[in-house]
A and B are shown apart, each in its own frame.
Chain A
């Protein structure tokens, strides 16, 4: 007898419909799965067999053929265990599909040998895709229910075991999980990590971070070890505008597909902060692999990608960053498909001024030979540095600041200013497709950024004296615009330009 159960396959972040068909006939016994299954899907046979027997169902000695249609889509992972088991049980008359005439429900889930249902990766993306296609409901492991019920309009049927799933299928769904209250989850989530007030002094660096965040500019911090570069970077998510509900869903979807969603947290409520080690491969950084997975740039989507020891990263990894920095997404091409992962990040890089770390320090002497210093800086290519609008020095904290008992400004106050500056940008950038100053096209810089006469004079002088390129000049204006937005003024004056000029410190190889 033949039975069909609807399911869903993930390819990147997108779901694709998969029809699981089971045909059971009296013939020499065999259990085969066809339809481009990978190794994990092949192993599904053993899990399904054990789960069925251990759930007190019969596994008759017949020829079982399972087809996962369409046959040209590669099927990966263990999430087809449940639909395969259900299709088999319906085909052998041990279960009934009670959905007739009410709209079908899809099933996903991994089976344990004892018949328990284990969570699968990407439940949110699967649920969204099913909802878009108008599928009525989804039968899935209880551990995934909270995540899937973030999708409004889709009935979610959680099951803890195969036996429970069979009961729900017979009822055409049974009891649906209550829809998640997105706003309550967002409010109830953990805060945005450590606070800026923990850091004494470093006023210049904090100011630069505020500007960087306000205009979504990438930033490079150069300073000796222990100056607090990492501490500063970790506090950036806390001064970024809070995640909106739509953004939280976007971030959660990526974490869920990567299998990084903590089981007790159905929703990511704070902006991500990703700090991959400098030994990361280019695939680890931008995503890819045989089964394409989101890389660190995508996991940092709408948050911060922090690259400490910037010049120590592999050149291939650094160069691979250029496309996502440019486009806000990363495209991975494979033989059969090409996938796109979002990657709208704020890049925060940190480096020592030289290999030993003490070049320019007042207390320590730098022990690096001159050519090593040059080699170190030269590892960062011009085109990459070009994407980094602000470059600042982060010296060691002055002793006076370290002793200062007055508390430093809290993240919440900085965030309030950032939000105001972003609002001003959104109003000005309407219709350009950009949402922050850093993403303005050169045309828009000329059209939208209004520089006062004294500012233009200063800009012209800098252009001559510092031999700036046209691109570097654009960048200068963009940062100055952000400074003006923070100050709440309509036009850019000489003060804004000169502050902007101060953020093109050292950093290697000015363009």
Chain B
């Protein structure tokens, strides 16, 4: 595992902890579908969220949410649809399906975590 992967792993752990502390139940982590990956799939009450985790060591390269560009958004949306179509039961009791971003600022200790609900939709 190289340094970048280590950072990503640590950020995902921090994000997962952050979500769990706030009442989210994690349904799956690091779901690989084809060449893509969904970082975290979580559920809280009637809300099902596909969470993309973005880590940043410094603030010099823009915010973490900026790093989820339109191409990445489309990819996540497509993977989510595939995941859902294989598990129709996952929508039982669900009213809202969201694409969230959890931004992890790894430059500070302990790392700062920000949760952006409904950061984007299938159409941008």
Most chain B C-beta atoms within 10 Å of own C-beta, residue among A28, A29, A31, A45:
A28
- In Å, the complex CA distance between A60 and B118 comes to 9
Chain A 103-117: CB-based contact to B (< 8 A → 1; otherwise 0): 000000000000000
* Residues from chain B with Cβ under 8 Å of A28 in the complex: 77, 80-81, 84, 97, 99, 122
**Chief secondary structure at chain A's binding surface:** loop
Q: Which residue of B lies closest to A59 (CB)?
A: B118
The smallest C-beta distance from B17 to any residue of chain A, in angstroms, reads 24
Question: What residues make up the interface of B, taking CB atoms closer than 8 Å to A?
Answer: 47-48, 77, 80-81, 84, 91, 94-99, 118, 121-123
- Interface contact B99-A29, CB-CB below 8 Å: yes
Q: Cβ of A314 < 8 Å from any Cβ of B?
A: no
Tell whether A27 pairs with B91 under 8 Å between CB atoms, given A32-B123, A61-B118, A61-B121: yes
Would you list 17 pairs from A and B whose C-beta atoms are within 8 A, ordered by A residue? A26-B48, A26-B91, A26-B95, A27-B91, A28-B77, A28-B81, A28-B84, A29-B97, A29-B99, A30-B122, A30-B123, A32-B123, A61-B99, A61-B118, A62-B97, A63-B97, A63-B122
A57: shortest Cβ distance to chain B, in Å? 15
CA distance A30 to B120 in the complex (A): 9
Top-3 shortest CB links A-B: A30-B122, A29-B121, A61-B98
Q: How far is the CA of A31 from the CA of B98 in the complex (A)?
A: 13
Chain A residues lying within 8 Å of B98, measured Cβ to Cβ, are: 29, 61
Residues of A within 8 A of B118 (CB): 29, 61
Q: How far is it, in angstroms, between the C-alpha of A60 and the C-alpha of B84 when the chains are bound?
A: 19
- Alpha-carbon gap, A61 to B84, bound state (A): 15
For residue B84, which residues in chain A have a CB less than 8 angstroms away from its CB?
27-28
A99 to B77, CA, bound (A): 38
Given contacts A28-B84, A28-B99, A29-B121, 9 further A-B contacts (CB under 8 A): A27-B97, A28-B80, A28-B81, A30-B77, A31-B123, A32-B123, A61-B47, A61-B98, A63-B97
Residue interface bits A208-238, CB-to-B below 8 A is 1, else 0? 0000000000000000000000000000000
Contacts A28-B81, A29-B118: A61 and B123 contacting too (C-beta < 8 A)?
Answer: no
| Cα(A45)–Cα(B122), bound, Å | 13
A265 CB, min distance to chain B CBs, angstroms: 41
Minimum Cβ distance to chain B for residue A401 (Å): 71
Cβ–Cβ < 8 Å partners of B80 in chain A = 28
B122 cross-chain contacts in A, Cβ below 8 A:
28-30, 63
> How far, in angstroms, from A41 to B27 measured CA to CA in the complex?
38
By the criterion CB–CB under 8 Å, are A60 and B96 in contact?
yes
Query: Which B residues are CB-close (under 8 A) to A62?
Result: 95-97
B81 touches A60 (CB 8 A): no
